[in-house]
Structure 1
Amino acid sequence: MNDRNKNMHGCKKTPHGWIPSEWDIKTLGELGSFSKGKGISNSEKQKNGYPCITYGDIYTKYDIRIKKFFSFIDEKSARASQRIYKGCILFAGSGETLDDIGKCVAFDNNEEAYAGGDIIIFTPRGVNVIYLSYLLNSHNMLKDRRKIGQGHSVVHIYSSGLGVLNVHLPPLSEQGKIAEILSIWDEAIANLTKLVEEKEKLKQCLMQQLLTGKLRFKSSGKSPWKEVHMGELLTRVFRPIDWTADMQLSLVSLRRRCGGLFRRPDVLGGDYKTQDLHEIKTDDFLVSKRQVSHGAWALVLPDFEGSQVSKEYAIFVNKSPDKFHMPFFAWLAQTPRMIRLARVASIGVHIEKLIFDPEVFLRESILIPPSLAEQKQIADALDSAHSEILLLRAQRVALDQQKRGLMQKLLTGEVRVRM
């Protein structure tokens, strides 16, 4: 029940909460009619033809409205499917979780398109379809949709359940204004998402050029990159620690795909069964012996100073700080060539069972810039590109939070729009 507007002037109490006096409450069944999508298996999808949408697309590729299609079918498949028309809402009738089922998206253009099986098509009357899509995808409606989901490993929802869902309806003109405001936020989020994607591509391009010597700084000169053995640059260290049963341990692990370190839940020494823990320090290079073939290695940042790892990790330190820059190596380690080198230095017959051998790794050789200054320039350039991406991601998160707050206030009538 929505009590955010309780006892506010101009609001009325209903069985489903407090809403503005001129707002109405109706069930979806009172607002329109339901039909079903049909056909369209994954094998029927192709790169061109008639636009189509499957139930899985609804909760993996779309948010509020369909702006473009990602899949297409030929004329034969289209005749066996169900055409959709402007002004309808498409619900995912199946999903793997309760949050997936009932996820919906509005179709508000005149393009000829088709809906596959396990999609419930709702055609409303006298309502702004974009407003309704925002409302049906709101947090409050998500809770209601969960209640009518059925099943365990695969969850289903049916038109009979959707038909009894209650929705709050402002006057039609106010619905349009709310949809317009929320669409502005969605457009800003989409633009920022696209910018992040472009910056990611630029960073990848910079990595490919700078970490292979194809692109050099003017100050680097013309001296070629040099080949050196890992053993000339790194040495393995052991920092075993002693702990007591009441000591709180700060354990860390490594993500795959060069995702860096992350903290595990803190535990008391008495609850930790392994008797071999080692301390890590800033600028160590940490390797997961069982996961490095998947990119589980990274430079230890200051936030993880003094944390602990088990014997399943190898710790390396810089052996030649006057010749080798560890932040440069952290970037180099993210390249496909270095991941392959880690696999070569591992023992086993299957990628999921490879075990990294530090001694073999130290006998391998790599190419690095001849000067420490160039290594620092490369690391600084890539750090700057990455920092810009992190900033843009933070801005995108902030916009998304603003939008969620707006949805909560606008869709409940807590804040009214000026007409």
Structure 2
Amino acid sequence: MGELGQFIRGRRFTKADYADEGVPCIHYGEIYTHYGTAADEVISYLRPEIGAGLRYAEPGDVVLVDVGETVEDVAKAVAWLGVEPVAIHDHSYAFRHDLNPSYVSYVMQTDWFTRQKVKYVARTKVNTLLLEGFSKIAIPVPDRGEQDRIVAILDKFDALVNDLSAGLPAEIAARRRQYEFYRDRLLTFPEKAAA
């Protein structure tokens, strides 16, 4: 990975730095709790006056966490697809590269990748990424067209599984309506004429 791009460590910000609007940011904790494979909007902002002292992920970077409660949590990643840079916390890295960012994020979710990264996680009180070794992980790099094709397939599958307005939840709701329709049709009897 180190030959494919560079890792840029974020800078620390605290709860006192948050604001209702201002500098868009991604806190490393939000990567565990809010973001999926990719994101194009943030949920948090920092006070504008601290903006110059921060480090940013650019559109197309992959933001990854360098700490975690479990080894699997370390290096959890989100592809930043927004249109402007976002500030990142110092427990995060922006991986800047020329690949499809969602492709990189998907690769980093695989069991194969997890087996590679466990070699580069310091198991202390808080599991921490050892970037020097981590950057030596070799990931498959098909041509950009193939990366885009893989992402399109995985995005569709993700939507089928997770999107509340489409996919499995919508299919379940449709089957429930179908069941209710047929139940009502089967259990509707003609009324007997009064004798």
Q: Deviations over 1:237-282 (max 9, x none)?
A: xxxxxxxxxxxxxxxxxxxxxxxxxxxxxxxxxxxxxxxxxxxxxx
Q: Distance in 2 between matches of 1:137 and 1:75?
A: 33
1:10-409 equivalences under 5 Å are 28-125=1-98, 127-192=99-164
Contact 1:56 1:95 in 2 (8 A): no
Q: How far off its partner does 1:47 sit?
A: 2.5
- Is the Cα–Cα contact under 8 Å of residues 66 and 91 in structure 2 kept in the other structure? yes
* TM-score (norm: length of structure 1): 0.38
Instruction: Provide the rounded CA distance (Å) in 2 between the counterparts of 1:98 and 1:170.
Output: 27
CA contact (8 A) 1:52 1:71 kept: yes
1:174 Cα offset (Å): 0.6
Amino acid at match of 1:154: V
Give the conservation status (yes or no) of the 8 Å contact 2:160–2:166: no
Taking structure 2 as the reference length, the TM-score comes to 0.79
The alignment partner of 2:30 has SS state of helix
Whole-angstrom CA distance in 1 between matches of 2:130 and 2:38 = 21
Q: Which residue of 1 aligns with 2:185?
A: none
Q: Tell me the CA shift for residue 48 of structure 1.
A: 2.0
Deviates more, 1:158-167 or 1:87-96: 158-167
Residues 286-331 of structure 1, C-alpha deviation per residue, up to 9 Å, x if partnerless?
xxxxxxxxxxxxxxxxxxxxxxxxxxxxxxxxxxxxxxxxxxxxxx
In 2, the alpha carbon distance for the partners of 1:42 and 1:188 equals 36
2:38–2:81 CA contact under 8 A, matched in 1:
yes
The percentage of counterpart residues that share the same residue type is 25
Q: How far 1:187 sits from its partner (Å)?
A: 2.7
Per-residue deviation at 1:116? 1.1
Q: Determine which structure has greater relative contact order: mean sequence separation of CA pairs < 8 Å that are 6+ residues apart, divided by chain length.
A: 2
Letter in 1 for 2:84: E
* Coordinate RMSD, CA, aligned: 2.4
Given the superposition, is the C-alpha separation of residues 112 and 35 from structure 1 closer, same or farther in structure 2, using an over 3 Å criterion? Answer: closer
Ranges in structure 1 where 5+ consecutive residues have no aligned partner:
1-27, 197-392, 397-419
SS in 2 for 1:121: strand
* Change in CA separation of 1:68 and 1:189 when aligned onto 2, cut-off 3 Å: farther
Contact 1:38 / 1:115 at 8 angstroms: preserved in 2? yes
Task: Name the SS of the counterpart of 2:82 in structure 1.
Answer: coil
Unaligned segments of structure 2, at least 5 residues? 173-195
Distance 1:56 1:86 in 2: 20
Structure whose alpha-carbon radius of gyration is higher: 1
* Deviations, residues 345-403 of structure 1 (Å, cap 9, x unaligned): xxxxxxxxxxxxxxxxxxxxxxxxxxxxxxxxxxxxxxxxxxxxxxxx6979xxxxxxx
How far apart in 1 are the matches of 2:122 and 2:17? 28
SS in 2 for 1:167: coil
